[in-house]
Amino acid sequence: MGASWRLTGKDAFAEQALAVMQNGHITKGGKPSHSWLDYARWSLAFDWLLGYEGFDRSLQDRIAHELTDGAAAMLAGPSFADPGQLSYHNYDVRYLSLPFFAAAALEGHSDCDERCKAWRPKLTQGFANILETTELVSPDGSYHESLDYMRITWASLVLLAELERTVNGVDPAQHYSVFRNIGNTYLYKLLPDGTPSREGDNEYPVLDGRDTALLGYAVNRFKDPYSAWFLRKSGFFSKQWVIPVLEFLWTIQRLFRGIQRWQVNLSCRGNATSQA
């Protein structure tokens, strides 16, 4: 709703978002490997609603302190004792996402600005190490853990990359090749009927909503026709997006120009998924 207000200027959307925020709280006491997504959602909503006159200072302060407390607790943990050692691994990337989103949303907020600035070097160092490791481990795509861990890691990784591009004007996707090989990895990981391959993967996970975020990202940033077909036409993937606003932001219809032509080529080539 916050994004809808930003895009349309209609106050009804902002009021709906504020009603949710007034009656709810950010997840507390949960595992950060799960709660990071809640912090990302609240951070985005907080940022999008700034400037709306109905977003009063007391509610801003309450949410800001909840975001700050969660980020501070995460950064005080053992994973951040040496941020330069953060791993390209499903837990560490999610752990980094929690304070990264909170710090971006709260920068400039009077009660939290100094703490956010103090966190920036640690967050930057941790993200830089993860990005450098992707170039070593999986520059052409694929992933060193299961499909399940791959999408958990990459869902948070692409969100971090887009946040970095938006906030700081630095675009990791232009410098690290793992991002442009997301669609190719799904071609490799899936059998022609959409069943996940078990090659190097003893867990045999099924596809779920987190895959939509990754494929949507591949379409949005790289106009990848294979990812577009996966999302819109294959029937392999969930219709429920892990972050619903991304369905609007990352799959706008104009991004799918050429998909019909690609589908014709696919039908002519036969088993195109396994050949690609």
pLDDT tens track for 261-274: 333 333 333 333 33
**Average pLDDT taken over every residue of the chain:** 82
Question: Mapping DSSP to helix (H, G, I), strand (E, B) and coil, where does residue 17 land?
Answer: helix
- Looking at residue 143, the DSSP 8-state letter turns out to be -
Percent of the chain with pLDDT over 70: 85
pTM of the model: 0.83
Cα gap 24→262, rounded to integer Å? 45
Report the Cα–Cα distance between both ends of the chain, in Å, rounded: 39
Bridge-partner residues for 196, per DSSP?
Answer: 190
pLDDT tens digits, 33-88: 888 989 998 999 999 998 888 999 999 999 999 999 999 999 999 989 999 999 99
Closest CA to 245 of 41, 43, 51, 106: 41
Identify the pLDDT of residue 8. 80
Identify the pLDDT of residue 111. 72
For the record, the structure tokens of 140 come out as 């052409």
Cα gap 276→260, rounded to integer Å? 18
If phi over 0 gives left and psi between -120 and 50 gives alpha, with beta otherwise, what is residue 235? left
